[in-house]
Structure 1
Amino acid sequence: MRTSVYKPIPDAKLFKQQLLFWAQQFREVIFMDSNDYPQEYSSYDCILAVDAFTSLKTDYYNAFEDLKQYQQTTKDWLFGYLAYDLKNDIEALESNNFDGLDFPDLFFFQPKKIFLLKGNQLEISYLTMCDEELEQDFEEIENSQMQQLETAESLLIQQRISKESYLQKVSKMLAHIHQGDMYEANFCMEFYAENARIDPFDKFKKLNEISKPPFAVFFKNNKHFLLSATPERYLKKEGEKLISQPIKGTSKRFSDPIEDENAKNQLALDPKERAENIMITDLVRNDLSRIAQKGSVAVDELCGIYSFMQVHQMISTITAKLDPQFNVIDAIKATFPMGSMTGAPKISAMKIIEELEETKRGLYSGTVGYFAPNGDFDFNVVIRSILYNQEKQYVSFSVGSAITSQSIAEREYEECLLKAKAMQEVLQ
């Protein structure tokens, strides 16, 4: 049985930092921070889940069925991720590209200890809790002194696909579009460092500080780490309501307010960026309609412009009501991988992506989140993220952009470099 205790938190910002620092002692950690970003569908400002009581780790084969059984058996909080390559469990697809990270395709755990922060109210939820342990932990967290750790050695960050090769590959994508094989695809490339020793806690703090995104995640599973500054929600369930918020459309931020406002306005009116967003909105509508109550799929906002620390983004919000004949895992399986990271038509785009990309995506462009005991859930899209295999000393981050018939290869390349900026800055 899980027991909850509530405590007032006078300084939520300081407490979040102490919470993450205290969590480093555990083998399994998920820390999620909304960074006080104003958003309509936020259930919590911050969540920390640590210390697995039970867990599920698997490759793509039969993964959704395994997750369904795990979720229905535990009927408890579950935290974890689904990697992009679970596409191979849904469709007759393959992932044969190079993988330097070697993360499992799916990992979820049932935590012994959960901290849920909303405003200045903290809920602490422990499995098989004794009051003494909880009070001792809380005291430890409040007394945590963040230490400035030694700066790790500088990394030699390499680009998996050269600029010349990138431009050639985008030309091939455009040829596929002109032949009618697809009309949009998200094409990604990897940046990486070998023999890399980094402090994941320190790097996450820096990445989060310069990005302040609404779906930031620090994830640890023993030697596997995800440090994510993603601004994108994949899918959330609240009661019977499903909410998806794909991002398609990016422009640079400027220090000059007038220039910055102009960039925002230009993004809102850009026909190419709008076409990208509308095509993916349509794809998400189609995906949701497979598990939604008839007539319940709606576009609440189309091509809204939102500003983040590094970039302006175009975001649409699509909602639906889950048909009672489907369960929560069905909702994820019907919409996975997310439209913003694949393309349209989805299966054709994924085949072409696999053919032209040079790295297995793994957790990049997958999703991290949680299931609540009542079946509600919230999952992000893993972009703007650093992945680290501590054992193999391999660091990786990937970036991508949507290729459509209106794409100019040079501009797509520049967009990728813009998206890579924050991760590059943190690692170097």
Structure 2
Amino acid sequence: MISPQRCELPWQEPQAMARILRARHGEQGLVWLDGDGSELGRWATLAVAPQEIICCRGLPGEPGATNPFNALRGLAPGHWCGWLSYEAAAWVEPGNPWASDGMATLWIARHDPVLRFDLQQRKVWIEATSTAALESLAQKLVTSAQQPRAETVSIPLAAWRHHTTTEQYAAGVQRIRDLIAAGDLFQANLTACCSTAWPQESSAIELFLTLRDACPAPFAGLIISDQNEALLSSSPERFLQVSAQGAVQTRPIKGTRPRHSEPEQDANLAAELVCSDKDRAENVMIVDLLRNDLGRTCQPGSIQVPQLVGLESYASVHHLTSVVEGQLKAGLSWVDLLETCWPGGSISGAPKLRACQRLHELEPTSRGPYCGSLLRIDWDGSFDSNILIRSLLRQGDTLRAHAGCGIVADSDPLCEAEELMWKLQPLLEALT
């Protein structure tokens, strides 16, 4: 546990400080954990120029591959941010088939100092273990010249190549329904991907700001690695949170409807979601799965469900969200919890390993950081993470967007294909 020094600065919006840091240090190694100003999304964190970077690539058996969970167990005390990819599950269950992805399985960096924003109170502090580092950053930010000018970002919808057509996705939904009818599965989260060329001369910060304006979310974030890779997330879903005292929380999302500009129609869509037996059953099924996952590392009798299938509304969608809580067993850490719960139940299925196997057969592309997590370890050793849905991925000169839907026995293939676009379209339209 580390107790950093703190220095309050005159308020500036996170985007203004992000542009100043980019102008002084470049984008490589920049992390920005963002919120939407709600109670869940009250705090934001921004840092650049990491002190230490850890990067793992590859799957078990591949040359040079390293176990990301072992790397996480070896982290030095400090403030760390990064991502863990969906395919890190290969290190948990090597007997299952997993698709190799070109992006890092784990990229995580330690920063000192960091900027911490209270988006509700409009306050900002520098946190650092060194007085010299704190004062140096404060001087740069307070005396900075006029902030760099915003860039214009535009990616036409026609520029995106969809790797799965609507017909193919609907066929995949039907295949999962057949497997459920045969007793092979109970539920599976089928995803699809589209990609385009990374807009030349564009900054990842400016793309993230464009996404942030259109799709604010409580567990959003931007991570720019030193490997020409980046993730830009507007995720509304927390995966795992662990306090310094071992209190655990997860917030699975299952059930989606689009928002509508007309208030009465918007309310009707929300009511339809709340009354949907299919969406409720899917959410409860994942709650049961996560209760079981948490039970492997939490104290017996500590697991509670304070919110079951509650309605939460965001800029572009309504969601059904549940909350599951527990208390870690003595002697276990957040890494133990993360490893036993990986991958997240809400983006895989039930039974989890069988669902992952069937999804591997049906999905033509690997997921990479999508459906993985953006991770944060705070100074006091507490841990938080999201589920990387509603996210864009940069790998070299390629930009990817993914979306998915949970499929159950009574899923309608064409309706699920339509829901896929509810989730994907706001991301693509934001960048036009």
TM-score by length of 1: 0.92
Alignment of 1:23-422 (within 5 A): 23-24=21-22, 25-39=26-40, 45-59=43-57, 60=59, 61-70=66-75, 74-91=76-93, 92-96=95-99, 99=101, 102-118=102-118, 119-130=121-132, 132-140=135-143, 143-151=145-153, 154=156, 156-194=159-197, 196-197=199-200, 198-222=202-226, 223-238=228-243, 239-389=245-395, 391=396, 393-422=397-426
Which shows bigger deviation, 194-203 or 218-227? 194-203
Number of residue pairs the alignment of both structures matches: 413
Whole-Å separation in 1 of the counterparts to 2:55 and 2:281? 38
Per-residue deviation, 1:132: 4.5
> Which portions of structure 1, spanning 4 or more consecutive aligned residues, are displaced by more than 4 angstroms?
150-155
Per-residue deviation, 1:151: 4.3
Q: Which amino acid aligns with 2:17?
A: L
Give a deviation string over 1:161-199, Cα, whole Å, max 9, x none.
112211222111111111111100000000111464343
Per-residue deviation, 1:80: 0.8
Please give the secondary structure, in 2, of the residue aligned with 1:75: coil
Whole-Å separation in 1 of the counterparts to 2:29 and 2:13? 20
Please give the secondary structure, in 1, of the residue aligned with 2:127: strand
Per-residue deviation, 1:95: 2.3
Ranges in structure 2 where 5+ consecutive residues have no aligned partner? 60-65
Whole-Å separation in 2 of the counterparts to 1:153 and 1:166? 24
Per-residue deviation, 1:134: 2.6
Give a deviation string over 1:220-272, Cα, whole Å, max 9, x none.
01321111111111111122210100100001111111111111111111000
RMSD (Å) for aligned C-alpha atoms: 1.9
Please give the secondary structure, in 2, of the residue aligned with 1:254: coil
Please give the secondary structure, in 2, of the residue aligned with 1:425: helix
Whole-Å separation in 1 of the counterparts to 2:29 and 2:259? 36
Per-residue deviation, 1:375: 2.0
Which residue of structure 2 lines up, in the alignment, with residue 15 of structure 1? 13
Please give the secondary structure, in 2, of the residue aligned with 1:52: coil
Per-residue deviation, 1:325: 2.5
> Relative to structure 1, is the Cα distance of residues 149 and 248 closer, same or farther in structure 2, using a 3 angstrom cutoff?
same
Per-residue deviation, 1:129: 4.4
Per-residue deviation, 1:427: 3.0
Give a deviation string over 1:320-353, Cα, whole Å, max 9, x none.
0111121120011111111110000000000001
Whole-Å separation in 2 of the counterparts to 1:320 and 1:53? 33
2:241–2:249 contact (8 Å) kept in structure 1: yes
> Relative to structure 1, is the Cα distance of residues 54 and 8 closer, same or farther in structure 2, using a 3 angstrom cutoff?
closer
Whole-Å separation in 1 of the counterparts to 2:379 and 2:37? 25
Per-residue deviation, 1:418: 0.7
Whole-Å separation in 2 of the counterparts to 1:112 and 1:78? 9
Which shows bigger deviation, 282-291 or 1-10? 1-10
TM-score by length of 2: 0.91
1:293–1:321 contact (8 Å) kept in structure 2: yes
Whole-Å separation in 2 of the counterparts to 1:342 and 1:148? 38
Whole-Å separation in 2 of the counterparts to 1:138 and 1:334? 42
Per-residue deviation, 1:2: 7.4
Please give the secondary structure, in 1, of the residue aligned with 2:302: coil
2:187–2:355 contact (8 Å) kept in structure 1: yes
1:32–1:218 contact (8 Å) kept in structure 2: yes
Please give the secondary structure, in 2, of the residue aligned with 1:28: coil
Whole-Å separation in 1 of the counterparts to 2:308 and 2:3? 41
2:89–2:342 contact (8 Å) kept in structure 1: yes
Whole-Å separation in 2 of the counterparts to 1:335 and 1:375? 19
Which residue of structure 1 lines up, in the alignment, with residue 62 of structure 2? none
Ranges in structure 1 where 5+ consecutive residues have no aligned partner? none
Whole-Å separation in 1 of the counterparts to 2:269 and 2:3? 49
Whole-Å separation in 2 of the counterparts to 1:179 and 1:140? 67
Q: Which amino acid aligns with 2:193?
A: E
Which shows bigger deviation, 181-190 or 57-66? 57-66
